[in-house]
Amino acid sequence: MKFINSFFKTLVQQYDYLIFVFIILLKIYYFSHLTNTVFITLTPLEYLNQFAGWLLNLNEGGQIFEGLILISFGTILLSTFWIIFLKGKLRLIAILVLNIIFSFIILADAVYFRYFGDLISMTVLSQLGQVGDVGESITALFRWSDLLFIIDILLIIPIFFIGYKKDSKSKNKFIPRAVIGLAVLFIGFQLTFIPFNKSMENGGAFQFNKLISNMRVYNFTGLLGFHGADIYRYVNDNYLNKTTYSAEEVKDIDQWLTNENNLLSSEYEGIAEGKNIIILQVEALQNFVINQEINGQVITPNLNKLTQEEVYFDNFYEQTALGRTSDAEFLLNNSLYPTASGSAYMLYAKNEYESLPEKLKQEQYNSTVYHAYNPSFWNRYIIYNQFEIDEFYSKEDFSEGEAIGWSLNDKDMLLESLEDIKSRAQPSYSHLITLTSHHPFEMPEKYETMNLEGYTDYSMRYFRNYINSIHYVDEAVGQFVDALKEEGMWDNTLLLIYGDHSSGLTKDDPAFNAFANTGEEYNYFIEDKRIPLIMHLPGNDQSETINKVGSQIDLAPTIAHLAGIEPSSYWLGSNLLSDAKRQATFRDGSFISDQHAFLAAPDGIYDNGSCFDRQTESEVPVEECREEFNTGIQELRISDKILDGNLIQRIKAMNN
């Protein structure tokens, strides 16, 4: 009886721990709400009723496994049960420290999700050196409602303090605490692994093991479970059991690449042979602003003129993932997919590649990248050597001028880059990467020249900023094109202009939604991914608008085709000017083709995705998209294996 009394007294004294667990669960629920993921499918009372029935084997309780509440609760208990063994001041400190750690993780994930639509992984955290450089953009993503993630830390201190005072005077014994602590551990284990195993049995194992996207893993593990699994995976993959590929596997991949290599021709083959090549990669340029007006004012008059005079691809898509601009560069230079987690520029900076600059170098081209920012950002100063880029003209190489946003304004940056291009040996390959239109798109008042009457609400600020910044960048592009002509370089230059990635404007942005007609799921998916691609072909006087689907992975083979050189057998894209059947495949398995658009479901299960007919824009049975989906997944796997195993190096060694 004495032990029972002691046990119940000790159990009652766990109120501080229960409050702590409840608060963390609420924060995880709020995160689920912000990310529009399923946390619970029943009302609390219905859930408890079904859970009790399942526990007593009175019903199957199937719906209790739908959503993240069980596994979220379980992972909290699993990671905090040891607090019950503590008492006094040490217990108070442990609760406060864990509360701060968990709150920071949840808040960081919420802010990160707003921009990238994903969770922070270990590979991203290994790139923390980049965070200081994106501080302003990150700050712009915070909302006042985010205080809900941290305000309790200060408010709850008095409660803990009172609990500590009482607890410090009590005579709690270790055995009752041990019984309660082990019981919490057991419950946490069951609540974590029963729903997890259910998910694995229902098709989740493939998604979990292949890691097509972090959000798919999150849908099986919950937030804390994701980070636990991610840490385990990172340590395992990079230190304990790094993936290796047998000689037979390498041979099979080499054979697949040989069979898939696309050598289809077009009337433009070799039109730029021996000519200068200039790639103008414009920050966050999306297609919905092209050939459009707002309040009677043309947004991009200079780009519009180019679309009417040159070759314009209006069905072209960005394929970047977490690496954003660096992913766009990676796709351009290597015709391989970006990584599912982190950035290839960081993870695979020591790999061997057969890049576009390397192929051009074999034809006596010299190559330079122009980007008015820190050379260490995204590890550029290291990985450019792997691409055999001859020189990187970075922030320290540009003269001091007016800074807009992150760095030197695009007008000065482009014209100064052109001065350097003129001085270089010919032919040259020049890759210019702009910055002025970077999120959060804020412009000095003197450059806010667009008439944006009707878009003055605070909720429309990013759309308003974006329109002004893109209008300014359009002027910069116009000046650059005029300078090329004045310098007599226009007829001797192959010029490509395209956007690097989406703007980050979401379907919840009222102005973007109304202007770009993104209210429907299909429309938002298309417009969010669509970017313009404009090509000036030297010696070509015919304008043309090409409607066939293309994407960034096709840029390198297309440039090689125009320059009259053979594409690399390690490139996965195809010549945009050929009649090849193409699709734009995205990192989560979604794709856009001429016939279909497929939106992968967050849980990663194919049958839960949505398939649309491109002609009617109506949803059709998901089975109609399966063949193209499988094609895209196969390419993603091959690309991942090439990077993960540094297989270009191994294939070259095998074939020599």
DSSP code of residue 392: E
Residues serving a catalytic function are: 325
User: What b/e string do you get for 15-50 counting C-beta neighbours within 10 Å, with b at 16 or more?
Assistant: ebbebbbebbbebbbbbbebbebebbebeeeebeeb
Whole-number Å distance between alpha carbons of 75 and 79: 6
H/E segment holding residue 282: strand 276-282
Please indicate if the annotation marks 453 as binding a ligand.
no
Q: What's the rounded Cα separation, in Å, for the pair 250 and 247? A: 5
Instruction: Please work out, in degrees rounded to the nearest 5, the angle formed at the alpha carbon of residue 324 by the alpha carbons of 318 and 328.
Output: 50
Q: Which residue is it, tokens 């679309």?
A: 307
Q: Quick check: 412 and 401 in contact, CB under 8 A?
A: yes
| DSSP percent split of the chain into helix, strand, coil, nearest 5 | 55, 10, 35
Q: From the CB of residue 193, how many other CB atoms can be counted at a distance below 10 Å?
A: 15
List the beta bridge partners of residue 494. Answer: 277
Q: How far is CA 10 from CA 49, 78, 157, 543, in A?
A: 28, 20, 21, 81
Neighbouring-strand partners of residue 99:
none
The answer to whether 501 is a known ligand-binding residue is yes
405 sits in the region (left: phi over 0; alpha: psi -120 to 50; else beta) called: left
Contact between residue 327 and residue 281 where contact means Cβ atoms under 8 Å apart: no
Q: What is the DSSP letter of 568?
A: P
Residue with tokens 């990467």: 433
Residue whose token pair is 């021996």: 274
Residue 617 burial (CB count, 10 A): 12
Tokens of 611: 């398939």
Q: How far apart are CA 640 and CA 619, in angstroms?
A: 31
Cα separation, 403 vs 139, whole angstroms:
19
Instruction: Tell which residue, 45, 589, 83, 643, has the closest CA to residue 334.
Output: 643
Residue 237 annotated as binding? no
Provide the annotated binding site for Mn(2+). Answer: 283, 325, 500-501
Provide the annotated binding site for substrate. Answer: 438
Provide the annotated binding site. Answer: 283, 325, 438, 500-501
